[in-house]
Structure formats: C-alpha cells, structure tokens
Amino acid sequence: MDLYEHQARQLFAEHGIPVPRAEVTDSAREARVIARRLGGRVVVKAQVRTGGRGRAGGVRLAEDPAAAERTARRILGMEIGGHPVRSVMLARPVDIESEFYVSYVLDRAAGRFLAIACAEGGTEIEEVAAARPEAVARIPVDPAEGVTPAKAAEIVRAAGLPPRTADILIRLWQVLTREDALLVEVNPLVRTTGGRIVALDGKVTLDGNARFRQARWGEREDPHTHPLEAAAAARGIDYVKLDGEVGVIGNGAGLVMATLDVVAGCGARPANFLDIGGGASARVMSDGLSVVLSDPGVRSVLVNVFGGITACDTVADGIVRALDTVRPRKPLVVRLDGNNAARGRAVLGDRAHPLVRQAATMDEAARLAVRLANAT
C-alpha cells in the first residue's frame, strides 16, 4: 500500500523528522490561498504514487500566489507514468546546501532489512548506482536489533553522510517498524544553508497485511493507478511500473532492487519492479510474467530468482505455464540459483522454448537481457 508524498511527510513529522510546512489541495483556486498562507513563494508538487514527477513537469516553483494558481492548474489533470494528477501539494521552499539519499527496504530473501544511503540525493538512486556503485552504501539491518545509535553511525560512515543525519536514520527506522512499512525512503534528505537536516520528499510503502491497523489511510488503494499495477494488485502481486525496456522479476525486494541496479549498470532502464515474494507458487510466477509481458514497452524480461522458500523448480513450472498461456513474443532471460536450481534449469531446458535463455549469474543474465532488449 503506497502512500502519497504528503502522507509520507505526515508520518515523518509524527516521528520527529523535520519537513517543510505544506498543504494539499485539488483546486487551483485554493492553491493561491494556500500559497499566500505559506508566505507566497511555494513549490507545487503533483501527488501521484509514482516516480519521475520532476522530469514530467509535475514539480514546479511558483514565485507568488498568482503563479501558484497557474502552476496548480497546469499540473492538475496531468498524467504521470499512467497516473492522473488529482491533487497537488504546496510546500515552503528550502535553501539547500547539500542533498542526500536514505532508505530502508525489506530484503525478503535475506530475512532482514537493508539500509541504502548515499551522499548524493535528489536524483534517481539507480543512476548513481550505475555510474558509481561505490557511492551507494548498503548496510544490512537485523530486525531484532534495529537501528541503534551504533548502527546509525555505521550507516553514516559508510555513506559519507553528515553526523547529524544519524538521528534522522533512527527516527526513519521508527517510521518503518511502528507504521507497518516495507519501504521508507527520503530523496532528498537535505542540509539547509542554516544547517538543519530536513526531509524534502518521502516515499512509504505499507504492508498490505497490516491494513486493518492502518485504517486512517483508507481501506482500499486509490483506484486511479496504472492499469498494469491495478492488474497486478488484483492478483496479489507487488508490481511497480517504471519507464524502461527490461522487465524485471525476482523473489525478495532486496534482490529485485539489486537486479534493477545491475540492469541500469549494463546500460538499460528497468521497466518495472516485481517481487514474487519468498514463498511464491507457480501460479504467482505465471501471473507475474503475464503482467510484465503485457507492458508494450518491455523488450526483454529478466527473471532473477534465488531459491529459498521459493524453490527454483516451482519458479520454472510457473514460467512454463506462462509460456503456454501468454504466448510471449519477447525474449526471456532466466537465472536460477539456490534451492532446486538444477531441477528448475532442467524444467526450462526440457521445454526448450526458443525465446527463453538461461544464465548462470545475475551479471551475465543482466548483460544478456540488455543485449536482447537493444536488438529488438
């Protein structure tokens, strides 16, 4: 269950993480009133559950209340990544000295959380990871231990963040654990010219299984999502549409995120994030592949699975089932490792589908998937 940015910022504020004052509206006329209340000069931001708002023109600076009304009218009704903009958030601008990236994400495959941090915020973290992977720190977090002051200091040192961000890291962990979240992200976390550490943007994904404890965000997802995301949600699949050409399927959020980074590092853009989970059945694998192959922008698909609870032969059975029902016209690259990997590879080998290629490692699979995508 993804929250809107203004909802994520509300959670941050409740847990003591500084955020600029802001208000939300679905009316361009009211945007003028809000801007006047906030001091005149404001940032107008589209409220949609997807990334890429800035590049799409959904984040703009308005110098005065009249400009805020004009800007809000221009943004309201836009479509960003298949998501219609039905509300905007107006926030006080901040004088920025430095920008950083921090997040926590559930790594199902490893049975723990992963802290991801970088001293370069404000841009897509995948781009930084592709250009300079050493700049992105990935620190495992034991759920039983959590983010203690010592762990926060470790993350700060690894990423080269200012020491004062350690307190934010501890509070961000509280958001994750106390609010039933699977992902919390701040990009950018900034140091202002006055020396304050402030969260300018936020993304929070809540565990759908805890919906009964999170009733204040609504009992159902916003129906105005990307059609493929809606189709995936109807099948119980964790899927996020991205603007790329290589479809990505994996088991475990950490493994999927790593796969996105590797694809980007090979010179292509991931088309989606799809996590089949730690105990996925053949049906889930088949349904996930069907959703990814339904994306007209996908030119190849990379399936990257490390067998644990999910055995590799089960994944292979799901792929074979999808091949018989979906009838793909795009190449698939499959990397299977771990539990029953040899058996899974044999299942795919026996099927001998002309569009399915197997690879031994994640890097090899990503290079092949990118090469096939560029060839189509």
Question: Which pLDDT belongs to residue 237?
Answer: 86
Catalytic-residue membership of 4: no
Question: Which pLDDT belongs to residue 349?
Answer: 94
Question: For residue 223, what are the contacts with CB-CB under 8 A and spacing of at least 6?
Answer: 230
* Cβ atoms of 313 and 344 closer than 8 Å: yes
Question: Which pLDDT belongs to residue 329?
Answer: 87
**How many CB atoms are closer than 10 A to CB 342?**
10
Rounded Cα distance between 58 and 201, Å, is 13
Residue 205: which of 217, 223, 193 has the closest Cα? 217
- pTM exceeds cut of 0.85: no
Residue 204: which of 165, 177, 176 has the closest Cα? 176
Catalytic-residue membership of 239: no
Rounded Cα distance between 327 and 357, Å, is 16
Question: Which pLDDT belongs to residue 208?
Answer: 76
Question: For residue 346, what are the contacts with CB-CB under 8 A and spacing of at least 6?
Answer: none
Catalytic pick among 5, 69, 101, 229: 101
pLDDT in tens, 191-231: 999 999 999 999 999 887 777 787 777 654 554 467 888 88
Q: Is 351 helix (H, G, I), strand (E, B) or coil?
A: helix
Catalytic pick among 185, 229, 239, 245: 185
pLDDT < 50: residue spans in the chain: 220, 223-224
Q: Any idea what the Cα angle at residue 163 is, between residues 138 and 134, rounded to 5°? A: 30
Question: Which pLDDT belongs to residue 224?
Answer: 42
Residue 301 per-residue DSSP state: E
